[in-house]
Amino acid sequence: MAECPDNPSWPFYAAKVLLRDDKRSAKAVTYLRRAVELDPTNECASYWLAFSSGEADGVDKAPSSYVQKLFDGYAHSFESHLVGKLHYQTPQLVCQVLRENGPLLSPPEPLDVLDLGCGAGLACRALRSSDMMECLGASRLTLVDVDLSEKMLREADAKGGYDALIHGDIVEVLKRWPDVDICLPAAAVRPPLPPSFHLIVACDVCVYRQPWKPLRVHLSSAARGGAAHLLD
């Protein structure tokens, strides 16, 4: 294939350019097959090949390496693009659902919340608003986040509001909960992680995990009896 050099990275990146144009998707599949032939360990090329060729049966989620690299590169401009250009409102919709279903607790018991895939922390700010705290029936809120992108965690930490941020794949973290390591904040003394949570939210996370069953199965590891789950 004269036009597809034997450099393992070249056909993969050429394919990504071609995939921007629907009329060139067949050629992109050719390049992706070549990329996988040259480097069978390239998870991203294998993932794109599966979906571009219609052979995605059995592919249950995007590779962790792909998701992490994607959002690490997007972290700095993520919030401005999401809110300013895409008019993102999922955290507000989550809060609307909670308002419609009334208080989760009777004050003054603290409310422990797990935010799966926080991004830049938009859900955190929505949940910590004074009217939302009143609606939830919480005098105090402990908010813990899990995200695969370390740079996203740093963005969220810089904005404040989370009591602990965990770096890792959400299903793998749920499997081990609460035996996990805190990534941020970098404090000398941190409060212990809640053994379980009253509320678990995941905003625009499930699109990266198909089917949802592994996520649903392991939610019980971190959910308190009667906990509310809001997954999108």
pLDDT (tens digit, 9 = 90+) per residue, 93-129? 888 888 887 666 665 578 899 999 878 888 899 989 8
Give the tokens for residue 221.
Answer: 């590891």
CATH of the domain at 164: 3.40.50.150
Q: Do 94 and 202 fall into the same domain?
A: yes
Whether 90 is in a domain gets the answer yes
Residue with tokens 């770096």: 167
Dihedral angle, C-alpha 15, 19, 23, 28, nearest 10 °: 20
Domain of residue 38, residue span? 9-56
Mean residue pLDDT of the chain comes to 78
Q: Do 80 and 157 fall into the same domain?
A: yes
pLDDT of residue 52: 73
Model confidence band, residue 231 (pLDDT cutoffs 50, 70, 90): confident
pLDDT of residue 79: 76
Q: Do 45 and 131 fall into the same domain?
A: no
DSSP string computed for 48-91: HHHHHTT--TT--B--HHHHHHHHHHHHHHHHIIIIIIT---HH
pLDDT of residue 104: 67
Distance CA 47, CA 52 (A): 9
pLDDT of residue 175: 93
39: left (phi over 0), alpha (psi -120 to 50) or beta: beta
Q: Do 102 and 204 fall into the same domain?
A: yes
Is 95 strand, coil or helix? Answer: helix
Q: Do 38 and 100 fall into the same domain?
A: no
Whether 217 is in a domain gets the answer yes
Whether 61 is in a domain gets the answer no
Please say if the pLDDT value at position 64 is more than 60. yes
Closest by Cα among 86, 95, 83, 64 to 201:
95
Please say if the pLDDT value at position 56 is more than 50. yes
Whether 1 is in a domain gets the answer no
Q: Do 108 and 30 fall into the same domain?
A: no
Q: Do 93 and 197 fall into the same domain?
A: yes
Please say if the pLDDT value at position 224 is more than 70. yes
Whether 197 is in a domain gets the answer yes
Q: Do 117 and 26 fall into the same domain?
A: no
Please say if the pLDDT value at position 84 is more than 90. no
Q: Tell me the per-residue pLDDT of 145-203, one tens digit each, with 9 for 90 and over.
A: 999 999 999 999 998 889 999 999 999 999 999 999 888 776 655 678 899 999 999 88
Share of the chain above pLDDT 70, in %: 78
Give the tokens for residue 111.
Answer: 């409310």
Contact 63, 45 (CB under 8 A): no
Q: Tell me the per-residue pLDDT of 171-183, one tens digit each, with 9 for 90 and over.
A: 999 999 999 988 8
Q: Do 96 and 173 fall into the same domain?
A: yes
Provide the number of structural domains found in the chain.
2
Whether 4 is in a domain gets the answer no
Please say if the pLDDT value at position 2 is more than 50. no
Q: Tell me the per-residue pLDDT of 200-222, one tens digit each, with 9 for 90 and over.
A: 998 877 766 666 777 888 888 89
